[in-house]
Homo-oligomer: A and B are copies of this chain.
Amino acid sequence: MTEDVLPVLTGPVEVVGAGLIGTSIALVCRRLGLDVTLRDTSAENVRTASGLGAGRPAVPGDRPQLVVVAVPPAAIADAIVDALERTGAVVTDVGSVKAAPLEAVAARVGAPELSRYVGSHPMAGSERSGPLAASAALFDGRPWAVTPHPGAGADAVGLVEALVLECGAAPVVMDPADHDRAVARTSHLPHLAAVLVAGRLAHAPAEHLALSGQGVRDVTRVAASDPDLWRQILGSNAEAVLDLLAEVRVDLDTLMAAVESGSGDDLVEILARGNAGTAAIPGKHGGPARPTRSVFVSVPDHPGELARLFGDAGEIGVNIEDVHIDHDPGRPVGLTELVVEKGSAEHLLAALESRGWTTHR
């Protein structure tokens, strides 16, 4: 399906499940001026999302063009079946796993109803949850898998793709089972590795933990997520996850043998495969990675100093791609990292220095 023949999203859009993802989609649709109706087993979630401007409570007689199911994994199949039977709308869901819910739905509805269902999965989220964490910008530039089954109607697929594009995301059309193998590799396995590493920290001596640097923080960050949600995700993608865990178990044995025998060549081979893996991840938003360089500047830790720095960078005419502030509450000066296009770095450094900034070359 090419973009120029996509059906137009005209609404009403019904969002079932007013959590982080559902409310974020609702906010996007409201910005488009569409009528958005909200359903949630929690009346408080509906009130909160409505209060944020994400739509109105659904009432009997609503006739949605599109229903977006954004409920926890264990409730997805029931919610999809309910939406297909209750409305004549195209129905999508935003769950992390696609084959198992499809199978459950296909066993319970006829082919005409099933043709209106097209699964999808935005690669966006947060350690935070609930409608208060929602944002219309959540999906900006993110991949969003669209996973039609063979019996899905072309118009239904197109309408879901239209939603993805309106959300500012990049649709990636793939087979449901293939999607599940992909997220086992790019999401579920990384998550479980983070959990295993973090698990070894849980009862570690405080003086050991005092040596924690940025590396262990990055590796374990995702392990802070909700165990019950992840129990459901892993439970519905068990086969693909187990296949990968079995591969990792073989790699772990090889690694342990290499460390034990002191075989440098085997170790380097394993470590080099890790290098290759990080290089295989595409650029942040799916596009090619542009070469950048970091410029480090000392910035006094009080209001206005960052403003002065960015004001100077703006006058210098260099676009800042990203910023990291390494900020220590106990110290009066923070180190600010400005990420700029490689060709602009020297110019920015020299110009900032001429304005009196302390840079670190």
Contact = CB atoms under 8 A, between A and B. Distances in A.
A331 B245 contact: no
B287 A329 contact: yes
A313 to B, nearest CB: 6
Nearest to A27: B360
Contacts of A205: 182
A172 B279 CA distance: 35
Contacts of A213: 123-125, 142-143, 186-187
A111 interface: no
Contacts of A285: 328-330
Contacts of A7: none
Nearest to A319: B303
Given A238-B259, A256-B249, A290 B329 contact: yes
Contacts of A331: 140-141, 168
Interface in A221-268: 221-225, 227-228, 230-231, 234-235, 238, 241-242, 244-249, 251-253, 255-256, 259-260, 262, 264, 267-268
Contacts of A247: 200
A270 interface: yes
Contacts of A268: 227-228, 231
Number of copies of chain A assembled together = 2
B190 A220 contact: yes
A335 B126 CA distance: 14
Nearest to A294: B128
Contact of A123 (B201, B211, B227): B211
Interface in A117-175: 121, 123-125, 132, 135-137, 140-143, 145, 168, 172, 174
17 contacts: A141-B326, A186-B211, A190-B216, A193-B194, A199-B270, A204-B280, A215-B222, A219-B219, A224-B274, A242-B259, A245-B259, A246-B256, A303-B313, A307-B312, A307-B314, A309-B310, A321-B327
Given A198-B273, A220-B281, 7 more contacts: A124-B213, A182-B204, A197-B277, A219-B221, A220-B277, A249-B252, A285-B330
